[in-house]
Amino acid sequence: MDKFSYVNATSLKQVTSLLSDSGWGEVMMIAGGTDLLSELKEYIETPKTLINLKTLPGMDSITADASGLKIGALATVADIAMHPTIQHHYTVLAQAAASVATPQIRNVGTLGGNLCQRPRCWYYRDETVNCLKKGGDICYAIDGLSKYHAIFGGDPVYIVHPSDIAPALIALNASLRIAGPEGEKTLKVEEFFTLPAANPFRENVLEPNEIVVEVQVPQPKPDTKSFYLKAREKGAPDFALASVAGVFEMMGKTCQAANVVLGGVAPAPWRSAEAETALTGKMINEAVSMNAGAEAVKDAEPMNDNAYKVTLAQNLISRTAMMAVS
């Protein structure tokens, strides 16, 4: 990696003012560093300054009450995975966090970092390949090897978003609090992520001088069942070939409301309104769950090597729906 100066953060104000001096890449934030360090070592990023967020006070707390959950952006993935209330009432989130990487990485990786991590695409991660995401002319996955790439929303960059936690948060209708030089704002996690058609270079709407501060999750209704299913080639550590976060408000075997969000299949977490519609108001059985899976993938656009993801996403949705009634 190249040389950089290292600044310990003292306040959000100081962080956003340090950030605002430049565009992307000159000044970067580091928390757990599990993603950023590998980008630095591979010269994918070459910042002049790193701001260490770990010194920000109080930003790693998790609080839960009847209204919901508040998780500081510096809470570790392990904290989330092992939090008893999250395990009990926000199961999909605990399961998603527990599926991330390895214990070592979960112990240092943070919520904010997990949401803002960069793609794993093997062209993007190769310094010598100047792909579209890095300002080049083409997405190499289009004519190249696309086994791990997108089947939805790719154009013009066919990466998949690697976060496990993001689909779970979207399925739970979570919001996040963002601080910038002008103060704070709150937006839905779903609105945080963007597709490459809107911005091929970034995966979310964060401005160069903004920082994710906290995630807020409303408490699910009492009869809610939620699950995170992650298909991967290797038990751990491995990123998702496809994953699904399913949150179902149940009355007996009938699904009152469904939130279904796929991971690993699109450049952003991919909410499947089709699957949600196919499940809502229905008695869940094999036929209904299969139909929900089929509906979810009917507009999929597989590439050369990833048609299997269509089947996989479909099957994961059916499986998670069936779990709500088993």
Contact with other proteins (CB under 8 A): which of 66, 84, 128, 326?
128
Q: Which residues contact 154 (CB under 8 A, 6 or more apart)?
A: 139, 196, 266, 267, 301, 303
Partner residues linked to 51 by β-bridges: 7, 29
By CB under 8 A, residue 146 contacts other proteins:
no
Nearer to other proteins, 77 or 313 (CB): 313
By CB under 8 A, residue 208 contacts other proteins:
no
CA dist 155 to 22, 144, 166, 211, 222, Å? Answer: 28, 15, 21, 27, 40
Smallest separation (angstroms) from other proteins to the CB of 244: 11
Sign of the CA dihedral with 15 first, then 16, 22, and 24 last: positive
Smallest separation (angstroms) from other proteins to the CB of 24: 22
Q: Which of residues 147-206 bind other proteins (CB under 8 A)?
A: 147-148
Smallest separation (angstroms) from other proteins to the CB of 5: 15
Helix (H) or strand (E) run with residue 104 in it: helix 103-108
By CB under 8 A, residue 222 contacts other proteins:
no
Q: Which of residues 238-257 bind other proteins (CB under 8 A)?
A: 238, 241
Rounded to an integer, what distance in angstroms lies between the CA atom of residue 50 and that of residue 140?
30
Give, to the nearest 10 degrees, the angle between helix 308-323 and helix 286-297. 140
Nearer to other proteins, 175 or 315 (CB): 315
Smallest separation (angstroms) from other proteins to the CB of 294: 13
CA dihedral 14, 18, 131, 111 (to 10 degrees): -10
By CB under 8 A, residue 326 contacts other proteins:
no
By CB under 8 A, residue 312 contacts other proteins:
yes
Total chain residues near other proteins (CB under 8 A)? 32
By CB under 8 A, residue 270 contacts other proteins:
no
* One-letter amino acid of 223: D
Measured between its terminal Cα atoms, the distance across the chain in Å is: 51
Helix (H) or strand (E) run with residue 64 in it: strand 62-65
Nearer to other proteins, 136 or 218 (CB): 136
By CB under 8 A, residue 53 contacts other proteins:
no
- Which residues sit at the interface with other proteins, rule CB under 8 A? 2, 120, 122-123, 126, 128-129, 140, 143-145, 147-148, 231, 233-238, 241, 305-309, 311-312, 315-316, 318-319
